[in-house]
């Protein structure tokens, strides 16, 4: 091979991959639940209440060159909800709220992913809580750090869509809007 051509090829490769690092495919899978977080906030009588979900399992198949083919599923153990309000800790497992004895898990499963550019995506999927399923759209940002993908997102759900907080709790003591934030961490494959 011509040495001039070899030098040009080497230069072109360094330039191309140095300037356009996202050209090569990166695949993410195997959600790390220890490094991932799932939390929520809502208003109760004018005060902000913060909660976390301690146990969930996720599966992920995400290729940055083909995000439209991605698939994600999250199974949430509802009895692992922790809140900074003692009344809520007592009430949330009961039938008027999550009824964790009957419906121990909530499930999110993606149905479509749209690439919005600049590592931002819109994930459409089904969220099932208390046996009721609603379509949700979740804006997500992907950041890559040291061979790890960090998927950050936030969505708002209406508790009335899932009959959470029925009966005496159906009024405005607790906000109907629940803000859910997550950070899903997955290594490169």
pLDDT at 118 over 90: yes
* pLDDT of 166 strictly over 90: no
Q: Tell me the mean pLDDT in the region 101-127.
A: 97
Share of the chain above pLDDT 70, in %: 85
Task: State the Cα angle at 134 between 27 and 156, rounded to 5°.
Answer: 75
User: Which fold does the domain 25-187 belong to in CATH?
Assistant: Lipocalin (2.40.128)
Q: Encode pLDDT of 5-63 as tens digits.
A: 444 444 444 444 444 444 568 999 989 999 999 999 999 888 899 999 999 999 999 99
SS in 3 state form for the chain?
CCHHHHHHHHHHHHHHHHHCHHHCCCEEECCCCCCCEEEEEEEECCEEEEEEECCEEEEEEEECCCHHHCEEEEEEEHHHEEECCHHHHHHCCCCCCCCCCCCCEEEEEEEEEEEEECCEEEEEEEEEECCEEEEEEEEEEEEEECCEEEEEEEEEEEHHHHCCCCHHHHCCCECCEEEEEEEEEEEEC
Six-digit token pair at 31? 């959600």
pLDDT(3) > 70: no
Q: Considering only 82-86, 115-119, 135-139, 141-145, which range has the smallest mean pLDDT?
A: 82-86
């Amino acid at each position: 091979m011509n040495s001039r051509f070899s030098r040009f090829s080497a230069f072109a490769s360094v330039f191309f991959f140095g300037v356009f690092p996202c050209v090569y495919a990166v695949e993410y899978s195997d959600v790390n639940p220890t490094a991932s977080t799932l939390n929520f906030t809502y208003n109760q009588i004018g005060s902000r209440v913060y909660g976390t979900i301690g146990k969930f399992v996720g599966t992920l198949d995400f290729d940055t060159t083909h995000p439209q083919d991605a698939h994600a599923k999250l199974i949430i153990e509802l009895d692992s909800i922790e809140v900074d309000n003692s009344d809520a800790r007592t009430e949330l497992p009961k039938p008027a709220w999550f009824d964790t004895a009957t419906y121990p898990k909530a499930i999110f499963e993606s149905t479509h992913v749209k690439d919005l550019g600049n590592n931002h995506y819109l994930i459409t999927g089904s969220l099932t809580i208390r046996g009721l399923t609603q379509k949700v759209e979740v804006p997500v940002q992907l950041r890559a750090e040291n061979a790890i993908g960090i998927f950050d997102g936030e969505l708002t759900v209406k508790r009335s869509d899932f009959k959470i907080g029925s009966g005496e709790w159906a009024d405005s003591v607790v906000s109907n809007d629940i803000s859910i934030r997550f950070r899903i961490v997955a290594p490169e494959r």
